[in-house]
A and B are shown apart, each in its own frame.
Chain A
């Protein structure tokens, strides 16, 4: 079993849809959780950073962490074509690990 698994995608949604991106992990040492967005041929861009169970909201983005279930999610409301990118979860405990990424396409 991989340390971090992510819904594989690719995922296509119509503009305006609510998108749910999910990661599960097996290592209970992970304490810090991040979501990155990566456009093609660019570096990852930090979207959200959380370290406690619960929800954190920033504009159209909500990050959710459930440490008891070892599950994290990123919700995107009112999705836009400009949200089309690969989304990577990442987490840190004793080491820093990325999930494999989910490619999202938002269709106009």
Chain B
């Protein structure tokens, strides 16, 4: 089983809303990632968790707040987003940081 699941599939939110994206994997992977992908661009790394600890934060604005409650779950809390934050948000996991990553289907976020 190489499945990473993400919810919701689609999300529309206003600039004053607070919402969360969820990601789950049951492959026993110890590294999990959040990426942002704009149309016709490659994914851009946002955060890396390794053994449930934040190991990389690629200078992401504080309106994005990651959380790793346990080794299978990864959340991305969103608050006061801007329209330019509209994108496909991808979660990925790997056995360990640096190994091949398996991606979820993504959450398509629209900020109005």
A and B together in one complex? yes
The yes or no answer to B99 lying at the interface (CB within 8 A) is yes
Residues in A with CB closer than 8 Å to B43 are 44, 88, 98
Q: Could you show 22 A-B contacts with beta carbons less than 8 Å apart? A: A32-B98, A32-B100, A34-B100, A34-B101, A43-B4, A43-B90, A43-B92, A43-B104, A43-B105, A43-B106, A44-B43, A45-B103, A46-B100, A49-B100, A88-B43, A90-B101, A92-B98, A96-B101, A98-B42, A100-B41, A101-B40, A101-B42
The yes or no answer to A41 lying at the interface (CB within 8 A) is yes
The yes or no answer to A60 lying at the interface (CB within 8 A) is no
Q: Number of contacting residues on A, CB 8 A?
A: 18
> Which parts of B8-47 form the interface with A (CB within 8 Å)?
40-43, 45
